[in-house]
Amino acid sequence: MAKPTQSRTAVITGASSGIGAATARELARQGYTVVLTARRADRLEAVAKQVHADGGTARVYPLDVTDREAVTAFAGQLESCDVLVNIAGGAYGTEEIAHADPADWQRMYDVNVVGALHMTQVLLPLLVASGDGVVVVLSSTASFTCYEGGGGYSAAKHGAHVLAQTLRLEVSGQPLRVIEIAPGMVHTEEFSLNRYRGSSEKADAVYAGVPDPLVAEDIADVVSWAVTRPPHVNVDLLVVRPRAQAAQHKVHRTS
C-alpha cells in the first residue's frame, strides 16, 4: 500500500529557481518532505525558507547532477525517496548548426539527459522500495519539434523524452510510475536569459506581446497533479502550452 502524502519524500533537481523552485513549494504544500538540489546553495536556502514559512518541510543539498560521484554520495544520505522530479536543465545559445559551439550542445546534453540519468539510476532502488515510486522527467515541446537555432536544445530534450519512454518499458511490472511533462512557452526568470547569454533585451523579446504565457507555478501545478494521481494511474506524457501558443512556430501576439 502506498504511503500517505504526509510521509512521502520528493527529490527535486533544479530547485533553486523557476519551475524547480515552484515545484518544490507546491509539493511541500501537498504535504511532501521536499529535498531541494541544485548547484547554488544560497538560492536553495531561500527556497527552503519559503517552504518553511508556509509550514512545509524542506532539506537542502547543493548538487551538480552532472557529477556522478557527487550524485552517488547524495543518494547515500537518503533513507527514502518516493518521488524524483528531474527538472535541472536549460538551453544555451541560439546559433544555427553551421555555427553552433559543440560545447553548448555538450553542456545541454549533460544536464538535461545525463544528469537525469544519474539521478534516476542512483535513486531507483529507493523509488521501487517505496511501493509507489514516481519518476518525473521534464522535457519540452522541443522534444518533438525542431526549429532553426534550436538543434542542440531539441536534441537534448528529445534525449530526455527517450529516457522517460524507455524507463517506463523497462520497469513495467514494478511499483514505479514514469511521467513526462512537456511544457511549451514558459516565462521564467532565467531560461531565456541563459539561452541568450545574459541579454535581457533578447530574452524579453521572446515573450513580447504574448498574452499570458505560462509561468513556473503553472508547470508546478501540473507536476503536482500528475504525481498525486492514485498509484494505478500513470500520466505517460502531458503536453502543456499557453493558450496563445498553438505550436512551436504559431504564437499569438497582441503587438
Catalytic sites, residue numbers: 153
Q: What share of the chain is helix, strand, coil (3-state, %, to 5)?
A: 45, 20, 35
Report helix, strand or coil for 130: coil
Nearest-Å Rg of the Cα atoms of the chain is: 18
* Residue 10, H or E segment: strand 9-13
Burial class (CB in 10 A: 0-12, 13-18, 19+), 63: buried
Q: Which residue has the cell 559543440?
A: 102
Q: How far apart are CA 90 and CA 62, in angstroms?
A: 18
Query: Do 26 and 15 form a contact (C-beta atoms < 8 A)?
Result: no
Distances (CA, A) of 182 to 87, 136, 179, 248: 11, 11, 10, 12
Query: Do 68 and 96 form a contact (C-beta atoms < 8 A)?
Result: no
